Structure 1
Amino acid sequence: MATPEKTFYEGQVLWAQIDANRHLRHSSYADFCAQARSNMLKKIGLSLTDFAKHQIGPILFREELIYHREVHLDEFIRVEVEMNKYNLKNSRFSFRHTIYKENGVKAAEVNVDGAWMDLKARKLTNIPADWQGYIQHIPKSDDYIAINE
């Protein structure tokens, strides 16, 4: 069953995204999830252009891919994104992405942990204080944890 408020990418699997085993290659899952996160940020009011103006960029510390079902050429997929952890003090985040096949079957889950980096200093940074309100509009998982330390 589709969850429109959590769906941030829908599209067809292209030839260039297929591996030698004739299914979606591993790095394509990460690409779809990165696009879904970008779409989600834009939808809540924070485009990557906004981050660029502040010389801030996302950095991932961990990316975990759990396969459930194969995805093949020309299939249509959709990617749901939900935040499952956020640290209010240092803007570190965790997202869960669920990739569904066109028939609604879960194909994969991708979990990432990351933070924001100051692109000039090349060090971790917080997002601007006035952006914290935007974070409230990100869909949260049922097991969401807010950390304030």
Structure 2
Amino acid sequence: MKKNVFYEGQVIWAQIDANRHLRHSAYADFCAQARSNMLEKIGLSLSRIAEDGIGPVLFREELVYLREIHLNDAVAVTVEMTKYNAANSRFSFRHEIYRSDGTKCAVVTVDGAWMDLFKRKLTVLPSEWQALVVQLPKSDDYQDVSA
């Protein structure tokens, strides 16, 4: 069993492209849901985040396709933090998407930061959030890039 799985589900018809495999944007959707589930698990639900006027913003998203995923396949998505900078609240996460037979089908890496939703500018997380973020699962190659 894979560790740090934060999303599991079935591939549905609406997620299939003209080549009869998972469309490119569905990978990003799976990963976004996995990150949301991960944050909720540590106490930072999207509703709590919105109440505090802070939201995550992505700067980069890289998708490496390894194997096809088809209609009705069951998938599992792992999430691990690969970098974090507490001084400016920037983060990087790596997602791995697996079919139910254990085949790794894709690796998705995202870089982002936290934004003040009112000022529409990047912000540092409140100290109570920092204590929660350090609980997120970290990759074996994790880097604390706080300066």
Normalised by the shorter chain, which TM-score bucket?
Answer: over 0.9
CA distance in 2 between counterparts of 1:147 and 1:130 reads 20
Partner of 2:59: 61
Pairing 1:60-99 to 2, within 5 Å after superposition: 60-99=58-97
Partner of 2:2: 2
CA distance in 2 between counterparts of 1:77 and 1:146 reads 30
Q: Report the residue type matching 2:130 in the other structure.
A: Q
Query: How many matched pairs?
Result: 147
Q: Pick one of 85, 89, 107 that aligns with 2:105.
A: 107
Partner of 1:122: 120
CA distance in 1 between counterparts of 2:121 and 2:133 reads 21
RMSD of aligned residue pairs (Cα, Å)? 0.7
Alpha-carbon shift at residue 90 of structure 1 (Å): 0.7
Q: Report the residue type matching 2:128 in the other structure.
A: D
Q: Pick one of 26, 31, 38 that aligns with 1:40.
A: 38
Alpha-carbon shift at residue 129 of structure 1 (Å): 1.1
In structure 2, list runs of 5 or more residues that go unmatched. none
Moved over 2 A (4+): none
CA distance in 1 between counterparts of 2:81 and 2:53 reads 23
TM-score, scaled to structure 1: 0.97
Percent sequence identity over aligned pairs: 65
- SS class of match (2:6): strand
- SS class of match (2:77): strand
Q: Report the residue type matching 1:37 in the other structure.
A: R
CA distance in 2 between counterparts of 1:95 and 1:29 reads 14
Partner of 2:28: 30
CA distance in 1 between counterparts of 2:144 and 2:69 reads 34
Alpha-carbon shift at residue 2 of structure 1 (Å): 1.9
TM-score, scaled to structure 2: 0.98
Alpha-carbon shift at residue 136 of structure 1 (Å): 2.0
- SS class of match (1:79): strand
Partner of 1:132: 130
CA distance in 2 between counterparts of 1:110 and 1:25 reads 14
- SS class of match (2:71): coil
CA distance in 2 between counterparts of 1:38 and 1:70 reads 24
